[in-house]
Amino acid sequence: MRADRLLAALMLFQSRGRMTAADLAAELDVSLATARRDLEALAAAGVPVYPQPGRGGGWALVGGARTDLSGLTSGETQALFLLLGPASSASAEAKAALRKLTGALPTTFRADARAASDAVVVDPVSWGGAARSRPPLVAVLQSAVVRRRRIRLAYAARTGPPSDRLVSPWGLIDKDEVWYLIAGTDQGRRTFRVDRVLSAALTEEPFAFPDDFTLAQAWREVVEEIEGRRARTWATVATHPSHLPVLRTHFGRHCHPLPDPPSPDLLRIRVAAPTPLDLARSLAGWGALLEVLDPPSVRAELARIGAELGALYEPGPS
């Protein structure tokens, strides 16, 4: 995970003061290009790591080889923990390292650091479907979470015209580059797709988190609700094992190979969607490359789709 590498890079700079990109690549067991991108990401985020040209140069942490982080400003501290905080939701080692870094900060900066590191939860399991890029408003929303300031959103719902909403941003979720904002509203807790946020204006109106709120638990509840809607209909399909990666990409966590395959060339796989029609639409494009074994409702929808296509594209008289 990139956040783990960035955290490891910072710890190396803390102990050594100066390193070349080649040194960092060797330490982290990555390519030289990857090491350079990581260094540029740290510098671009405001972490005080900068390049030194010329003989004996490389990259250095402002203040040289220190064992504490007392040289960081408040803004640099927030930038650092916004970059590295998400790793702590997916890695026990990263969480322990962040605790140590927090302890090395000046007392006045620790609250900002904790707020920044808790602003994002990483959920690496995708819903399924095509990969997406990071929405441009993520940085603005992160800042609002850390500063505990309400934001005014212009939000495009799935249906109907865009709406204007004043919300309290409680945290962000990175679900395999599909980003969500969990926020407090006048109607209670709501979840917003960040790629549907048309604009976000930070206000100076403060908010307080609910006493019992934790971002990780709130997201678990959201996932349970969404997965319950997405997995109402399950089907068993038979296909060649080489097709499993494609099915996993499409169905995400709703794709499970069954044990004891009938033969080396045939795998039984369970897939799910909200309705039999949704499943049939997703599977019809595979043609004879896979067979739906059950339930009958999905097989019936596939037969109906096949009949419609046959009637539509049946060659006419020449």
Is residue 131, in this structure, part of any structural domain at all? no
| Distance between CA atoms of residues 122 and 114, nearest Å | 16
Residue 1 has a pLDDT of 47
pLDDT bucket at 115, cuts 50 / 70 / 90: low
- DSSP β-ladder status, 18-19 and 58-61: antiparallel
In a domain, 132, yes or no: no
Last residue of a domain, one of 57, 87, 118: 118
Residue 197: inside a domain, yes or no?
yes
Instruction: Count other Cβ atoms within 10 Å, centred on residue 145.
Output: 25
**Are 10 and 109 within one domain?**
yes
Q: Where are the alpha helices (DSSP H) in 85-214?
A: 92-104, 107-117, 138-147
With cut-offs at 50, 70 and 90, classify the pLDDT of residue 128.
low
pLDDT for 67: 39
Q: Residue 190, Cβ neighbours under 10 Å: how many?
A: 16
217 lies in the same domain as 253: no
Q: Are residues 106 and 151 in the same domain?
A: no
The answer to whether 146 and 85 have CB atoms below 8 angstroms apart is no
Q: Omega before 295 cis (within 30°)?
A: yes
- 128 is a domain residue: no
Residue 105: what pLDDT? 54
DSSP state of 135: P
Closest alpha carbon to 59 in 40, 31, 78:
40
Let me know whether 18 and 113 are in one domain. Answer: yes
Average pLDDT over residues 127-133: 58
In a domain, 21, yes or no: yes
CA 229 to chain centre: 20
β pairing state of 267-273 and 255-257: antiparallel
Helices (H) and strands (E) in the chain, counts: 11, 13
Angle among Cα 89, 210, 118 to the nearest 5 degrees reads 20
Beta strands 163-175; 120-122: pairing state? parallel
**Cβ neighbours, 10 Å, residue 194:** 22
- Bridge partner residues of 122 (DSSP): 174
Residue 135's pLDDT band, with cuts at 50, 70 and 90, is confident
SS3 179: strand
**Model pLDDT for residues 190-201, shown as the tens digit of each residue:** 999 998 999 999
Q: Rounded to two decimals, what is the model's pTM?
A: 0.50
Same domain, 224 and 236: no
Range of the domain at 113: 2-118
pLDDT tens for each residue of 248-259:
988 888 899 999
Looking at 24-28, 97-101, 123-127, 236-240, which range is the least confident one? 97-101
Cα distance between residue 148 and residue 194, in whole Å: 18
Contact 69, 77 (CB under 8 A): yes
Domain final residue pick, 228, 244, 265 = 228
The string over 41-65, giving b where at least 16 C-beta atoms fall within 10 Å of a residue's C-beta and e elsewhere, is: bbeebbbbbeeeeeeeebbbbeeee
Q: How many CB atoms lie within 10 A of CB 142?
A: 20
Same domain, 79 and 8: yes
Confidence (pLDDT) at 142 = 81
Q: What is the Cβ-side half-sphere exposure of residue 25, based on CA atoms within 13 angstroms?
A: 12
Convert the pLDDT of each residue in 164-192 to its tens digit.
Answer: 999 999 988 888 778 899 999 998 999 99
